Amino acid sequence: MQTIRSITKMPKVSRQLAARGKTIALVPTMGYLHEGHAALIKRAKKSADVVIVSIFVNPKQFGPKEDYKKYPRDEKKDMARIKKAGGDIVFIPKAIDIYPDNFQTYVTVEKLSKTLEGKSRPQHFRGVTTVVAKLFNITRPDVAVFGAKDFQQAIVLKQMTKDLGYPIKFVIAPTVREKDGLAMSSRNRYFTAEQRHQACCLYYALGTAREMVKSGIKDVRALKSEMRAVIKATSPKAKIDYIAFTEFDSLKPVSKASKSTICSLAVRLHNVRLIDNMRF
């Protein structure tokens, strides 16, 4: 496995691979990898000859009161996990190289980035789309693999890929969960054992809504009301940011749940903000 830290060397290596007829898959990450990331790498391995995993904690997608400096980092463990999962190249650029002095250019997806997470974190998606566009330009992938846990992010990036004409196959891989249903996240490490149990409230709420829809209850107001009750019963101090039922691709809100509906929610629990989603 090769490690590249230079943003001038990386495109040269990608061009050399392409010249040899090799296809490239990119898995962008912010590091502190878990089994969810490993699943994305394995999925990428099925789609291309060479898998590039980028590790970059992107300062532009954190708000002023968010946990950029505290975001967990462990490069040594990340490298071991990437190698075990089948990654071929690890790209670890420096922030000063991605965002040099006097950096002024950003990529914005207008409509999709203004709802849900976009309302709570106004500059978040601008940072995400900008860094991913730069990673696409530097690594030159044929395939890009993202996880469904960050569903809105994946839809926003898929739209950007289409709008900017990137010749990249866009893959959204299923969310990987712990045995108790908690969606795998680098931020789960912040919880004590008891707090971690409470964090399952998002999954319990989503599961309750799914069962209600299966039983014929499709009114979104009723679904949201029951989801709030489940969250508060599991974690009384949880603060619900939003619960939203939207169309899968457009993210337009719906009043009745159907097979093309996805439910997304964000909950703050013990000073940790968690997101999750489920398709009905």
Q: Which range is least confidently modeled, 105-114, 187-196, 252-261?
A: 187-196
Count CB-CB contacts under 10 A for residue 11: 15
Report percent pLDDT > 90 for the chain. 91
Strand 272-279 to 89-91 pairing: unpaired
Question: What is the pLDDT at residue 64?
Answer: 81
Q: How far is CA 110 from CA 122, 163, 210, in A?
A: 12, 11, 30
Q: Which helix (H) or strand (E) holds 153?
A: helix 151-163
Q: Which helix (H) or strand (E) holds 227?
A: helix 220-234
Active site amino acids: 37
Question: What is the pLDDT at residue 67?
Answer: 77
Report the distance separating Cα 251 and Cα 275, nearest Å.
16
pLDDT at 224 over 80: yes
The CATH number of the domain covering residues in 186-279: 3.30.1300.10
Nearest alpha-carbon partner for 199 in 124, 119, 271, 146: 271
Q: Where are the chain's structural domains?
A: 2-173, 186-279
Question: What is the pLDDT at residue 182?
Answer: 95
Question: What is the pLDDT at residue 256?
Answer: 97
Over residues 59-80, the pLDDT tens digits come to 999 988 787 888 889 999 999 9
Strand order in the sheet with 261-269: 239-247, 261-269, 272-279
Say if CB 213 and CB 222 are below 8 A apart: no
Over residues 17-75, the pLDDT tens digits come to 999 999 999 999 999 999 999 999 999 999 999 999 999 999 999 988 787 888 889 99
pLDDT at 105 over 90: yes
Q: What is the mean pLDDT of the chain?
A: 96
Over residues 120-139, the pLDDT tens digits come to 888 899 999 999 999 999 99
pTM, full prediction? 0.94
Does the structural domain 2-173 have CATH classification 3.90.78.10? no
